[in-house]
Amino acid sequence: MTTENSSNENSAENQEGAEMTTETASSSLANISQAHNLGKRAPGTHVMGSGLEARGVHAWFGKHHALSNVSLDFSAGTVTALIGPSGCGKSTFIRTLNRMHEFIPSAAMAGEVLLDGKDVYAAGTDVTKIRLQIGMVFQKPNPFPSMTIGENVLSGLKLAQLKVDNKDDLLEECLVRAGLWKEVKDRLGAHAGGLSGGQQQRLCIARSLAVKPKVLLMDEPCSALDPGSTLRIEDTINELASSMTIIIVTHNMQQAARVSDYTAFFLSEGGPGQMIEVAPTNEIFSRPRDKRTENYVSGRFG
Amino acid sequence: MTTTANVIEVKPRKPWKATPTDRATTAFVLLMGLVIAAAAVKFTGLSGKLGFVFAFVIAATALEVFFSIRKYGRKALGDSIATSLIYVGATATFLPVASILLITLKNGVKGLRWNLFTTDMFNASFLDPIGNGGLLHALIGTLLLIVIAMILSVPMGIMTALYLTEIRGKGSNLIQFVVQAMSGVPSVVAGLFIFTSVILITPLKTSAAAGALALTILMIPTVTRTSQEVLLLVPGDLREAGLAMGATQWKTVATIVVPAARNGLITATILGVARIAGETAPLIFTIGGADKLNLNPFKDYQSALPFYVWKGLTLGTPESIQRSWSAILILLILVLALFTTARTLGGRRMK
Amino acid sequence: MSTTLETAPIPTPRALTTNPRTSDKIFRGVVTGFGMTALLILTLIGLFLSVRGIQTLHTQGFGFLTRYSWEVTQTDSGTTYNMGIGAMLLGTVMISIVALVVGVPLSIAMALFLTFYAPARIKTFLVSIVDLMAAFPSVLFGLWGFFVLMPMATYWAKLIFKYLHWIPAFNAPQYFFERSPFIAGLVLAIMIIPIVTSVAREVFAQTPLDRIQAAYALGSTKWGVIKAVVFPFGSSGVVGGAMLGLGRAFGETVAVYTVLNIVFKGNFHVLYGAGGNVASMIILKWGEATGDETTALLAAGFILFLLTLLVNLGANFIVRNTLKSGK
């Protein structure tokens, strides 16, 4: 059922055996996941980084109820992928995690987001500290164009007014971890605008790392990049995963399979977006419990 | 995990909004600022309203900084100082407008008499008490100026805007440049120009029409720029729909584009009128300044509301200045009415 | 396939010509004609005033631009003229500097408040107020400046003089602080606030949202975002807005005339009650001027026209470039 058909895994033209093909596709996704991750990172085995837990999170934009009752536990040192069709609330969800949701004037929320057991929405919380601990990489690479490559990496320190003993070491460390050091070490003083899209995105990752976040949120970080750059970013994510908690929103199921330990499936069925199912990534792709998840991962919609 | 689990009604919260404690802190900061400022004025060398405001700003900023740092640590220093300064700056910008409106209302109302609207100054002097004479001639003069300037500048402005948006010919960049340059022409220069180019050498002498010519120069750029913005808002597919039906460009513009932008074009006209209604400097060179009602716009000296204000101001006696305040109140009401109409029409256009 | 492509001659592009109908020809002609009228008017303004300007430069020499005196003397042999607008140009620059120094920071504060701090309702209200301010008649600013602002501002001037008179610009030859360039500058500062604020607001609002969010996501405060993202993006636009304000300040006539004591002397003391302004001087001298003096006033108008034209075009260039870079 699996191996002999694996050569067909991407053949969209194979229409007559829809059932057959889709099953093949989903199980091969599980294979990818297994090859990449299984056993590599088990929850709780890494003490660096720290856990994040969403409890009954809802989100609204004005009257529009965008996200309903999402509870998810992100263990320290794991990568969780959020998948689902457009408009299912997965981007909204990760923006509630580092309190970027509140920038929409009409936004509202309910529930709790616990970082190290403390609610980030508790009264009197310093929101800038929360965002320091929960970094974010956006869909489109957005380096600061007025700054050089080096200044971009260290910009978070300046913005949050943090003191560091050795800036050069930190700069190198962040760029190495983001997989960009070799390409830019000779032109740290050049403006960031001269880099390619993929390099800019890795620069943005390096920028997020410089303030030493415990959690890194990635909102479709590869959707604006070419396949080569996408693979490099995925390598970077796999490298980083040992030292921090990563939550990545993606449209690309292969990507979820390649980088994540856990996958959560979000769906909006007319009403607010909901989390349908969360499970270890290879399970989601090989034997999803919910019919809707199965339909989605097998490519029947979305 | 399914929808049935979601039985309990959850209320949306906005945990990022100011909490009662935050509000209380802000109120405390402002109140203590006032108290400290009052104490400073009473017991130190600082004195007067300026001293009070100064002490208040410093005290309130210091308190705000103190509370922010206690809550968020040292990095809140720059942010809280900047926030205070921005609030102070915004208030300082708003205060003159409030002062101008209130004082004009207060001083202007004192002199409002019915006779202002029914008589001119032919049998009265500016130095007489305000019960004598009126500003009917100035009011009529302003209306004549506005009507003539409108007749001249609205077609000019809209046609120029059409050239820039519909024809987009080779000269577009040049004309855009010229319109920008025109919007910067000082009003005194417009007056001087009409004086030298019209009053000195053509049969049209000092009169409402000459004044209106000077105002037209100032009004054209406003009408053109606003019309241009409005015409650009008309969707391109409307034009293409017209052309695709085989209509000529002329028919498309006349029957589709201009009607679609109608409200906006009226707004452009009104904003243009608001721009020129209060202009004084060009009138000094062109209308002469009559004291008698003159209904002929092409002959003899004319007056206008801003000119009437100007004359009262330069004469400088309490009676003449009272006339200025009352006249400027009437002018301000006119401008306000025009402005509100433009806003209402413009707002409707956006929807 | 590829060989035929190589040998096939590359066709020359056909010109897309239409033969417009007569009604369209008339329409285009009329509209173009109107469009060109604006150009005609501007050229005529330059032409008429420059002819007079050249006449004056001919009789008065280039000293017309630098001389501080304006003397018209009647003698037996006729009238002699010794005229210059040096003091007025100096005064115009001084007043405009005061207007910019006071008005631009206030406008930036207001624009930042409107864009990043104000709640929606207050924002709508204040935007209307600022726009309305732009439509206030300049004679109203003069009236208010003279009767309301001047008593206060004279007191401020005395305070500045008391504590800062050791700075040459804040010194004064006599204890006379009314109707000074400082006060005229304050009135102009208020008058340029609407234009500078609306340009700055437009530019700030165009700051790319992704950069703002990136800064917030790095744990920045609001002020940190403004410093790191908004100012680097918008600074040149604000400079352009300030230049538009400068153009307005150069050309303002009636308001300055009302509050300024116009004296044909070179005065560098900004608090001292003696100043100059080209535009106001023109209406001051207009009533009694005859002959060469009238021509000289027209020449002064021409110079004012050139100055504002240069400043305005520079400003528009900068503002348009900034707004384009945001898209």
User: Which chains does A contact via 3+ CB–CB distances below 8 A?
Assistant: B, C
How far does A21 lie from chain C, in Å, by closest CA? Answer: 37
- CB proximity A106 to B under 8 Å: no
CA closest to C194 among chain B residues:
B93
Q: How confident is the model over A72-80, as a mean pLDDT?
A: 90
Instruction: Tell me whether residues A161 and B19 touch, CB distance under 8 A.
Output: no
Q: Which of C82, C102, C118 is the last residue of a domain?
A: C82
Residue A135's pLDDT band (boundaries 50, 70, 90)? very high
Please report the pLDDT score of residue C75 as a whole number: 79
Q: Is residue C194 part of a domain?
A: yes
Instruction: Tell me whether residues A161 and B11 touch, CB distance under 8 A.
Output: no
Please report the pLDDT score of residue A18 as a whole number: 42
Q: Are residues C121 and C256 in the same domain?
A: yes
Positions in chain C whose pLDDT score sits under 70 = 1-7, 17-18, 325-327
User: Which chains does B contact via 3+ CB–CB distances below 8 A?
Assistant: A, C
The answer to whether the CB of B140 falls within 8 A of the CB of B259 is no
**DSSP string over A215-275:** EEEEESTTTTS-HHHHHHHHHHHHHHTTTSEEEEE-S-HHHHHHH-SEEEEEEESSSSEEE
Q: Is residue C149 part of a domain?
A: yes
Instruction: Tell me whether residues B10 and A56 touch, CB distance under 8 A.
Output: yes
Chain C partners of B160 at a C-beta cutoff of 8 Å?
34-35, 37-38
Return the biggest CA–CA distance within chain B.
90
Q: Is residue C54 part of a domain?
A: yes
Q: Phi and psi at residue A108, in whole multiples of 5°?
A: -145, 165
Residue environment code for C266-303, b if the CB has 16+ CB neighbours within 10 A, otherwise e: ebebbbbbbbbbbbbbbbbbbeebeebbbbbbbbbbbb
Q: Which secondary-structure segment (H or E) carries A65?
A: strand A64-74
Q: Are residues C98 and C198 in the same domain?
A: yes
Cα B62 to Cα A261: distance, rounded to the nearest angstrom: 51
Please report the pLDDT score of residue A44 as a whole number: 44
Structure tokens at A168: 């050069």
Q: Are residues C174 and C290 in the same domain?
A: yes
- CB proximity C228 to A under 8 Å: yes
Residue A2 has pLDDT above 50, yes or no: no
Q: Are residues C115 and C156 in the same domain?
A: yes
**Cα angle B176, B180, B181; round to 5:** 115
Strands (E), chain C: 70-75, 78-83
Residue A8 has pLDDT above 70, yes or no: no
CA closest to C254 among chain B residues:
B281
Per the document, the length of chain B is 351
Q: Are residues C45 and C186 in the same domain?
A: no
Q: Which of C82, C101, C124 is the last residue of a domain?
A: C82
Q: Are residues C96 and C66 in the same domain?
A: no
CA C214 to chain centre: 36
Instruction: Tell me whether residues A146 and C120 touch, CB distance under 8 A.
Output: no
Instruction: Tell me whether residues B6 and A121 touch, CB distance under 8 A.
Output: no
Instruction: Tell me whether residues B324 and C143 touch, CB distance under 8 A.
Output: yes
Q: Phi and psi at residue B201, in whole multiples of 5°?
A: -120, -10
Question: What pTM does this model have?
Answer: 0.87
State the amino acid at position C294 in one-letter form.
T
- CB proximity A291 to B under 8 Å: no
Instruction: Tell me whether residues A68 and B6 touch, CB distance under 8 A.
Output: yes
Instruction: Tell me whether residues B13 and A107 touch, CB distance under 8 A.
Output: no
Q: What is the CATH number of the domain that holds C125?
A: 1.10.3720.10
Please report the pLDDT score of residue A1 as a whole number: 37
Q: Are residues C178 and C308 in the same domain?
A: yes
* Neighbouring C-beta atoms of residue A145, cutoff 10 Å: 16
- CB proximity A289 to C under 8 Å: no
Structure tokens at A203: 């620069």
How many CB pairs below 8 Å do chains B and C form together? 259
**DSSP string over A135-156:** EEE-SS----TTSBHHHHHHHH
- CB proximity B6 to A under 8 Å: yes
Q: Are residues C300 and C168 in the same domain?
A: yes
Q: Are residues C135 and C272 in the same domain?
A: yes
Q: What is residue C207's three-state secondary structure?
A: coil
How far does C115 lie from chain A, in Å, by closest CA? Answer: 13
- CB proximity C215 to A under 8 Å: yes
The pairing of beta strand A52-61 with beta strand A64-74: antiparallel
Instruction: Tell me whether residues B1 and A102 touch, CB distance under 8 A.
Output: no
Residues 115-134 of chain C whose Cβ lies under 8 A from any Cβ of chain A: 120
Chain C partners of A107 at a C-beta cutoff of 8 Å?
none
Q: What is residue B310's three-state secondary structure?
A: helix
- CB proximity A61 to C under 8 Å: no
How far does B230 lie from chain C, in Å, by closest CA? Answer: 17
Q: Is residue C16 part of a domain?
A: no
Q: What are all long-range contacts of A87-92, with beta carbons under 8 Å and residues at least 24 apart?
A: A87/A268, A87/A273, A88/A266, A88/A267, A88/A268, A88/A273, A89/A59, A89/A266, A89/A268, A89/A272, A89/A273, A89/A274, A90/A249, A90/A266, A90/A273, A91/A219, A91/A220, A91/A249, A92/A59, A92/A66, A92/A67, A92/A273
Count of domains forming chain C = 2
Q: Are residues C26 and C140 in the same domain?
A: no
- CB proximity B5 to A under 8 Å: yes
Q: Phi and psi at residue A55, in whole multiples of 5°?
A: -125, 110
Residue from A10, A41, A6, A4 nearest A252 by CA: A10
CA closest to B10 among chain A residues:
A110
Residue A31 has pLDDT above 80, yes or no: no
Domains and CATH numbers, chain B: 20-110 (no CATH), 136-350 (1.10.3720.10)
Structure tokens at B17: 């909004």
CA closest to C223 among chain A residues:
A159
Please report the pLDDT score of residue A5 as a whole number: 42
The answer to whether the CB of B116 falls within 8 A of the CB of B134 is yes
Please report the pLDDT score of residue C265 as a whole number: 87
Residue C91's domain comprises: 87-326
**Which of B4, B7, B14, B23 has the most A C-beta neighbours within 10 Å, making it the best mutation to test the interface with A?**
B14
CA closest to C226 among chain A residues:
A159
Q: Are residues C108 and C29 in the same domain?
A: no
Domains and CATH numbers, chain A: 22-297 (3.40.50.300)
**DSSP string over B87-144:** HHHHHHHHHHHHHHHHHHHHHHHHT--GGGGT--STT--TTS-TTS--SHHHHHHHHH
Structure tokens at C163: 């504590």
State how far the alpha carbon of C248 is from the alpha carbons of A274, B90, C300, in Å: 57, 21, 17
The answer to whether the CB of A216 falls within 8 A of the CB of A135 is yes
Instruction: Tell me whether residues B280 and C137 touch, CB distance under 8 A.
Output: yes
Please report the pLDDT score of residue A60 as a whole number: 93
Structure tokens at A18: 């829809």
Residue A46's pLDDT band (boundaries 50, 70, 90)? very low
Chain B partners of C224 at a C-beta cutoff of 8 Å?
78-79
Cα B33 to Cα B59: distance, rounded to the nearest angstrom: 5
How far does A177 lie from chain B, in Å, by closest CA? Answer: 28
Residues 218-277 of chain A whose Cβ lies under 8 A from any Cβ of chain C: none
Residue from A260, A272, A199, A208 nearest A234 by CA: A260
Q: Is residue C146 part of a domain?
A: yes
Q: Is residue C78 part of a domain?
A: yes
Nearest-by-Cβ selection for A100 from C211, C217, C224 = C217
Cα C252 to Cα C77: distance, rounded to the nearest angstrom: 38
How far does B29 lie from chain A, in Å, by closest CA? Answer: 18
CA C89 to chain centre: 14
CA C105 to chain centre: 16
Q: CB burial class (10 A; 0-12, 13-18, 19+) of residue B205?
A: middle
Q: Is residue C11 part of a domain?
A: no
Chain A partners of C215 at a C-beta cutoff of 8 Å?
144, 155, 159
How far does B8 lie from chain C, in Å, by closest CA? Answer: 32
Please report the pLDDT score of residue B343 as a whole number: 81
Structure tokens at C51: 């002819």
State the amino acid at position A130 in one-letter form.
I
Q: What is residue A64's three-state secondary structure?
A: strand
How far does B248 lie from chain C, in Å, by closest CA? Answer: 6
**DSSP string over A185-211:** TT-TTSBGGGS-HHHHHHHHHHHHHHT
Instruction: Tell me whether residues B193 and C48 touch, CB distance under 8 A.
Output: yes
**DSSP string over A262-288:** EEEEEEESSSSEEEEEEEEHHHHHHS-
Structure tokens at C44: 């005529």
Cα A200 to Cα C229: distance, rounded to the nearest angstrom: 17
Nearest-by-Cβ selection for B16 from A69, A102, A290 = A102
Instruction: Tell me whether residues A155 and C221 touch, CB distance under 8 A.
Output: no
Positions in chain B whose pLDDT score sits under 50 = 1-6, 349-351
Contacts of C156 (CB under 8 A, 6+ apart): B50
- CB proximity C107 to B under 8 Å: yes
Instruction: Tell me whether residues B3 and A107 touch, CB distance under 8 A.
Output: no
Nearest-by-Cβ selection for B250 from C24, C35, C221 = C24
Chain C partners of A136 at a C-beta cutoff of 8 Å?
213, 217
* Neighbouring C-beta atoms of residue A206, cutoff 10 Å: 26
Instruction: Tell me whether residues A109 and B6 touch, CB distance under 8 A.
Output: no
- CB proximity B7 to A under 8 Å: no
Instruction: Tell me whether residues B3 and A110 touch, CB distance under 8 A.
Output: no
Q: Are residues C99 and C151 in the same domain?
A: yes
Q: Is residue C186 part of a domain?
A: yes
Termini Cα distance of chain C: 43
Instruction: Tell me whether residues C49 and B189 touch, CB distance under 8 A.
Output: yes
The answer to whether the CB of B134 falls within 8 A of the CB of B115 is yes
Q: Which of C61, C82, C103 is the last residue of a domain?
A: C82
- CB proximity B48 to A under 8 Å: no
High-pLDDT (> 90) share of chain B, %: 49
Q: Cite the DSSP H helix spans in B234-317.
A: 236-244, 249-252, 258-260, 262-277, 281-286, 305-315
- CB proximity C76 to A under 8 Å: no
